[in-house]
Structure formats: C-alpha cells, structure tokens
C-alpha cells in the first residue's frame, strides 16, 4: 500500500503498525515524534496504530547539540 513519509511516497506492507514501520526504518522510537494525517500519535499508541492507504506521516527526531 502507498503512504507518504515526510513528503516522500513509499510502498509498505498492508497491516503494518506504526511501531513496525519505525523499526523497519531503523529509528529509535524513544527519540521520535510522529504525526499521522496532521494529528500527533502518542508513543503509547504506536503499537496499535495500523497504517492505512494514503496515510501522511511526518516523523521528526531529536537532535542534540550545543
């Protein structure tokens, strides 16, 4: 199925959860925030949030510095 991640279209497997996608992208879930269709998805809901055709995701990560 087709979704958009940070403006880039991407094919993913049907039935994939947000947590599974984050794992596939090799991102640490502790250091990201995800918006799905313009609504923030609480980290506790990543495991139960099943992605759907044409979802639009924005994934941001913390960057340390000084």
Is residue 12 within 8 A of residue 1, CB to CB? The reply is yes
Taking only the tens place, the pLDDT of each residue in 5-42 is: 999 999 999 999 999 999 999 999 999 999 999 999 99
Per-residue confidence (pLDDT) for residue 32, from 0 to 100: 96
Confidence of residue 62 (pLDDT cuts 50, 70, 90): confident
3-state class of 43 per DSSP?
helix
Predicted TM-score of the model (pTM): 0.90
2-61 domain in CATH 3.40.50.2000? no
Q: How far is CA 63 from the centre of its chain?
A: 17
Structure tokens at 47: 């495991």
């Amino acid at each position: 199925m087709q979704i958009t991640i940070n403006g880039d279209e991407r094919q993913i497997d049907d039935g994939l959860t947000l947590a599974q996608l984050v794992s596939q992208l090799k991102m640490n879930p502790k250091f990201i925030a995800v918006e799905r269709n313009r609504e923030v998805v609480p980290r506790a809901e990543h495991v139960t949030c099943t992605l759907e055709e044409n979802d639009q995701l924005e994934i941001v990560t913390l960057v340390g510095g000084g």
